[in-house]
C-alpha cells in the first residue's frame, strides 16, 4: 500500500501541467525541439531498405570449335594440344634447370657448399612429397569411411 501512495501518477501529471502552463520565454520552441530530436531519430531508424537482387548475367558462349566435328577430329586436336602442353612443360623444365645451374655456379664462386645445399633441398622435397602423400591417403580413407557410412 505504501508504494501506491508514494508514487502518485496523478500528482506527477498535475505538477508537469502546472510547469508547462507557466509563462516562460522560448517555451514552445524548446518543446518543439525536444519533441523533434527523438522523433527524427525514430523516423531515421525505422526506415526499411529493400535492395532488389542483381540482374542475372547474360552469358554469351564463344566456341572456337567447328560444330559437327567428328570423333577423329576431336581426338587429333586433343593430341595436338597435349603435344603443345608437353613442349611448354619441357621448356619450363629446361629453364628451371638452367636457373639452378646458374645459382650453383654463383654459389661455388662465392664459396658456398652447393652440393650439401642440394642434398638438403632434395631431402626437404622428399619429406614434403611424403607428407602430401600421407595427407592424400588420409583424405582418401576419410572419404571411403563417409561413403561406406552412407550406404
| pLDDT per position as a tens digit, 134-149 | 999 999 888 887 777 7
**Residues 6+ away with beta carbon under 8 Å from 27:** 20
Q: How confident is the prediction for the chain on average, in pLDDT?
A: 88
Record the pTM: 0.41
pLDDT in the model for residue 90: 97
Domains of the chain, by residue range, sit at 79-112, 114-151
For the purposes of burial, counting CB atoms within 10 Å of the CB of 107, is it exposed (0-12), middle (13-18) or buried (19 or more)? middle
> Which grid coordinates are listed for 93?
623444365
Contacts of 117 (CB under 8 A, 6+ apart): 107
Q: Is the pLDDT of residue 4 over 70?
A: no
In whole angstroms, give the CA distance from residue 68 to residue 71: 9
pLDDT value at residue 5? 62
d(CA 86, CA 93): 10
Amino acid at each position: 500500500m505504501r508504494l501506491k501512495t508514494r508514487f502518485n501518477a496523478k500528482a506527477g501529471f498535475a505538477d508537469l501541467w502546472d510547469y508547462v502552463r507557466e509563462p516562460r520565454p522560448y517555451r514552445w520552441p524548446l518543446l518543439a525541439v525536444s519533441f523533434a530530436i527523438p522523433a527524427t531519430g525514430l523516423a531515421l531508424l525505422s526506415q526499411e531498405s529493400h535492395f532488389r537482387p542483381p540482374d542475372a548475367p547474360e552469358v554469351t558462349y564463344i566456341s572456337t570449335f567447328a560444330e559437327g566435328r567428328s570423333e577423329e577430329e576431336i581426338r587429333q586436336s586433343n593430341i595436338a594440344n597435349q603435344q603443345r602442353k608437353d613442349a611448354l612443360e619441357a621448356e619450363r623444365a629446361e629453364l628451371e634447370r638452367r636457373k639452378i645451374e646458374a645459382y650453383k655456379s654463383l654459389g661455388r664462386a662465392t664459396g658456398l657448399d652447393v652440393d650439401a645445399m642440394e642434398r638438403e633441398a632434395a631431402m626437404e622435397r622428399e619429406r614434403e612429397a611424403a607428407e602430401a602423400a600421407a595427407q592424400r591417403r588420409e583424405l582418401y580413407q576419410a572419404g571411403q569411411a563417409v561413403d561406406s557410412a552412407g550406404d
